[in-house]
Amino acid sequence: MKKLSLLIISIFISLAFIKNIDALTGYTRESDIMVRTGPSTSYDYVAQLEANYVLDLVDSTLYNVGDSACSIGWYKINFNGNERYICGEYVTIGDISSSTPSYSTDPYDARIYGTSIQVRSAATSTSTLKTYLMPGDDIVIKSGKISGSGCSDGWYQVAYYKNETGYVCSTYIRTKSEITATEPEYEKELKEKGFPDTYIPYLVKLHQMHPAWVFNPSFTNYNWNYVVERERDANVLNYIYVNNTTQNVYTKYMTEEYGWYRTTDAVNAFYLDPRNFLTEKFVFMFEKLNYDYGNDSKTVFNKESESAKKYYKDLQSILAGTYLNADNYIYAFIESGFKYNISPDHIASRAIQEGMGRPTNESITGEYTGTYFGHSLYGYYNYYNINAYYSNGYDPTTNGLAYACGSECGYSNTYLRPWNTREKAIEGGAMWIAEDYIGIGQHTLYYQKFNTSPLAESRMHFAHQYQTNVQAPVTEGVSVFEAYRDSNQLNNKIEFDIPIYNNMPDVVSLPKIANTVNTLKDIKINGVSIHNFDKDVLEYITYISDKESKVKIEVTKSDNTSTVTGDGEITLTNDETKIQIKVTAENGSLKIYTVTIKKVTDNITIDEIISNLSTKQTNGIMYKISPNTLGSTLKNSILKFASNATVKITNVTGNEIETNETLKTGQTLTITVPSGETRSFKLAVIGDTNSDGKVDIIDLLQIQKYILKAKTLDNENLKAGDTNDDGKVDIIDLLRIQKYILKKITL
């Protein structure tokens, strides 16, 4: 007895130290992939994943290889703290960057021309706000311009997303014809510079509007698909653009910082494609951000110089409405730009973009009461949010001001730190941007966000990027455009460096908003639903009387936008007929369900049925039922041999169980065949000695107590404990249950 007790103790020690040591990374290759509680579609699903979802695989083992719904087998994954399973057919092991990016090149009629553009329920700015549209959202104009309050140019009724409709101020809409033009002589000049044909119509239009502007091609020497792959998981989108309609195609998941979502390849590709932003308002993301000295001295700053006067007018416009619109701050920006060869327009716009123009922003009040590892941050300023991100358990404001604090907070005193005056923060931050970005080749807003600049060191490409907001170049560029416009500077000479990639596709569009659902909720044969139908299980076998020559197939779609073929009345010409039901989603993706209908005879006895089952029966007990077997599985096994039989499984209270409920020891199976014969059996699930439908540590304890004669097991519970069917419950059964719990064997 002592040896037995020691053995049992060792069993519990081994159970306590189960752990995973071989975790791998993978990702889903398709959308709508189910995560299940076990390695089969007979198990419940707990989540549905989109394409490129990063997976934490327990190991590279494939479980239940040859499964009818997933013949390749199932991977075990860590999912939300639990071990779950996913079909290996949809999984790629390794770095997600190795997959080919997906994006849209669909043509468009018109697009949104602005940032955070409101869609209203009527042609007035006081009507209900329906949503926000982002730069480049494709729309269809449904009406001519409609007069209404809040938009002097008139309103358009538009269709957007999945044919939703609303009203948008026409100021913020451009058709493709409005942003392109032809001009043979200038087209020739652009081609000689090396611009691809797909860039030229947009640049011609800009040239016609502003003849003094200069456009230079910037050859990155990167292949397009490679760039999109490298930008994967590096960009985020603000929550105002994410709703139930856009979420599955625009975003992958929400980030740790509330209000931001990781963007899909398709969205990244749109914002990476320079051709989408060759318009008057957006092109400033490509403006060269060096200081424009003109004929002025580059060594001595003079407030009365031509460049200083020009920038003074610009900054009055850029900083309007903020407390920074004062001479001391304006000249701090201008002189900083002069010293470090950086555009004052750029650094002032960057300060506004980062929220520094609002007096309530704690990064610039100088009155922040927080501390960083015990060091007070009172009296410090950070106008450009440098180093402002979540780290070391601190929020962005704290980390940004700790950087401004300098050596007292563990940082160096470079870039004029500590930034304990507003002027030092403006100049020191400008010095940092100049040296860390513009000075190393990231000399446009575009290249600061997407670092593919041929002037930057290649080792820094894709890694040294100023912001994660995928729209940052757009919104900052619009601020610069508005400053030039309001100060009447748009017709001056302005230089733009525009990226060119190798092997570019047609102009990229934002992903098409179309339903991807191509599944069914139900399939009925002659009015009876297929037992245990699961939208992800594509193959079924069902049985029908050999007297039937036709069947009626009825389906229920998961989404009404999909189309179905293969349903209706079907003639059965053979003893076995295969029917294919094809479901096509709104976006064109196809799923095929195959139903095999087999004819069986009705003249069968219950003994004949039982003889064909994998279970055994004795003294009214049906045993050798594997753990996790569903009620529907047992029912289908019986109906396979007697399609017109009545099969009922009830619990201990006499209520019929659900078809997808796991079988438990002590439940009752009742079979009635057409002849009128009826028999009932108590069920014994292997290892389930306590009748809860699971085989776990409780069952192990019960068998231990039975062996030690501290507990009795009777009838079906005793039969459940006899895991190897040798007619007794002993230490062998105890060990087998231990190995089952440790996932070493199956029962």
**Amino acid 3: pLDDT:** 46
Q: Which residues contact 326 (CB under 8 A, 6 or more apart)?
A: none
**Amino acid 566: pLDDT:** 92
**Amino acid 446: pLDDT:** 96
Structure tokens at 162: 């999945």
Work out the end-to-end distance of the chain between its first and last CA atoms, rounded to an integer number of angstroms.
27
**Alpha helices, DSSP H, located in 304-373:** 306-318, 327-340, 344-353, 362-365
**Amino acid 617: pLDDT:** 92
- Measure Cα distances from 216 to 189, 342, 450, 713 in Å: 11, 19, 18, 86
**Amino acid 355: pLDDT:** 60
Higher pLDDT, 137 or 574: 137
Q: Is the pLDDT of residue 20 over 60?
A: no
Structure tokens at 659: 């078809």
**Amino acid 29: pLDDT:** 65
Torsion angle in degrees (nearest 10) through CA of 255, 257, 259, 265:
-30
pLDDT in tens, 421-440: 999 999 999 999 888 888 88
Q: Is the pLDDT of residue 132 over 60?
A: yes
Q: Is the pLDDT of residue 628 over 70?
A: yes
User: pLDDT-derived band of residue 22, with 50, 70 and 90 as boundaries?
Assistant: very low
Residues of the chain with CATH 2.60.40: 520-600
Higher pLDDT, 687 or 482: 687
CA angle 426, 427, 433 (to 5 degrees): 90
**Amino acid 15: pLDDT:** 39
Q: Are 625 and 634 in contact (CB under 8 A)?
A: yes
User: pLDDT-derived band of residue 127, with 50, 70 and 90 as boundaries?
Assistant: very high
Q: Is the pLDDT of residue 687 over 80?
A: yes
User: What type of residue is 311?
Assistant: Y
Q: Are 84 and 33 in contact (CB under 8 A)?
A: no
The whole-model pTM stands at 0.57
pLDDT in tens, 693-739: 999 999 999 999 999 999 999 899 999 999 999 999 999 999 999 99
The C-alpha atoms of residue 733 and residue 703 are separated, in whole angstroms, by: 8
Residues of the chain with CATH 2.30.30.40: 23-98, 110-178
User: What type of residue is 352?
Assistant: I
**Amino acid 232: pLDDT:** 87
Q: Is the pLDDT of residue 356 over 60?
A: no
Q: Are 599 and 544 in contact (CB under 8 A)?
A: yes
Q: Is the pLDDT of residue 6 over 70?
A: no
Q: Is the pLDDT of residue 307 over 70?
A: yes
The C-alpha atoms of residue 306 and residue 84 are separated, in whole angstroms, by: 68
Q: Which residues contact 14 (CB under 8 A, 6 or more apart)?
A: 738, 742
Q: Is the pLDDT of residue 17 over 50?
A: no
User: pLDDT-derived band of residue 128, with 50, 70 and 90 as boundaries?
Assistant: very high
Q: Is the pLDDT of residue 1 over 50?
A: no
Q: State the DSSP code for 375.
A: E
CA-based radius of gyration for the chain = 35
**Amino acid 95: pLDDT:** 56
CATH of 110-178, one of 3.30.360.10, 3.10.20.740, 2.30.30.40, 3.40.50.2000: 2.30.30.40
**Amino acid 52: pLDDT:** 66
Calculate mean pLDDT across residues 338-351: 89
Calculate mean pLDDT across residues 657-661: 80
The C-alpha atoms of residue 192 and residue 2 are separated, in whole angstroms, by: 92
Residues of the chain with CATH 1.10.1330.10: 606-741
Q: Are 436 and 430 in contact (CB under 8 A)?
A: no
Q: Are 533 and 69 in contact (CB under 8 A)?
A: no
User: pLDDT-derived band of residue 102, with 50, 70 and 90 as boundaries?
Assistant: confident
Whether domain 520-600 has CATH 2.60.40: yes
* Location of structure tokens 């304006």: 330
- Phi, psi values for residue 76, rounded to 5°: -90, 130
The C-alpha atoms of residue 404 and residue 402 are separated, in whole angstroms, by: 5
Among residues of the chain, what percentage have pLDDT more than 70? 93
pLDDT in tens, 481-511: 988 888 777 888 899 999 999 999 999 999 8
The C-alpha atoms of residue 100 and residue 92 are separated, in whole angstroms, by: 12
pLDDT in tens, 66-80: 887 887 789 999 887
Higher pLDDT, 356 or 658: 658
**Alpha helices, DSSP H, located in 453-556:** 472-486
CATH number belonging to domain 606-741: 1.10.1330.10
Q: Are 213 and 494 in contact (CB under 8 A)?
A: yes
**Amino acid 602: pLDDT:** 66
Mean pLDDT of all residues in the chain? Answer: 87
Q: How many residues does the chain have?
A: 747
Calculate mean pLDDT across residues 384-405: 90
Higher pLDDT, 11 or 106: 106
CATH number belonging to domain 23-98: 2.30.30.40
**Amino acid 555: pLDDT:** 93
